[in-house]
Amino acid sequence: AQSVAQPEDQVNVAEGNPLTVKCTYSVSGNPYLFWYVQYPNRGLQFLLKYITGDNLVKGSYGFEAEFNKSQTSFHLKKPSALVSDSALYFCAVRDPNYGGSQGNLIFGKGTKLSVKP
């Protein structure tokens, strides 16, 4: 079965410090991996994705994520957090080889990031 786990419900970081939001996945084949951010009462905004190639992916707003196949992880990182980064972050996976459906994303439960000044 396909699944995504975000083990931390909340991550607290001081402004200017590095941040990491963790994500692990379980799929049968080679995954497509995504990170989205959701601000209160808003839709999801795309941050970055891994399809193939370089394991380190750079995305919007200074975020990056590293695909680690052996650990089945795709942690989101940022070298220096901003207060404005405070939001809900979702990791998602798509397994293009799963059954007959190639469409839907499977989301983790989300991690609330709180950056304090």
Partner 1 sequence: NAGVMQNPRHLVRRRGQEARLRCSPMKGHSHVYWYRQLPEEGLKFMVYLQKENIIDESGMPKERFSAEFPKEGPSILRIQQVVRGDSAAYFCASSPRKVADTQYFGPGTRLTVL
Determine the distance from the C-alpha atom of residue 68 to the mean position of all C-alpha atoms in its chain, rounded to a whole number: 13
- 63: which 2 tokens? 């975020």
In the complex with partner 1, the residue whose CB is nearer, 48 or 81, is: 48
The DSSP bridge partners found for residue 7 are none
The residues of the shown chain that bind partner 1, judged by CB under 8 A, are 32, 34, 36, 41-46, 49, 51, 90, 94, 96, 100-110
Q: Show Cβ contacts of residue 109 under 8 Å, excluding neighbours closer than 6 positions.
A: 6, 9
Distance of closest approach, residue 14 Cβ to partner 1, in angstroms? 25
Distance of closest approach, residue 45 Cβ to partner 1, in angstroms? 7
Distance of closest approach, residue 79 Cβ to partner 1, in angstroms? 24
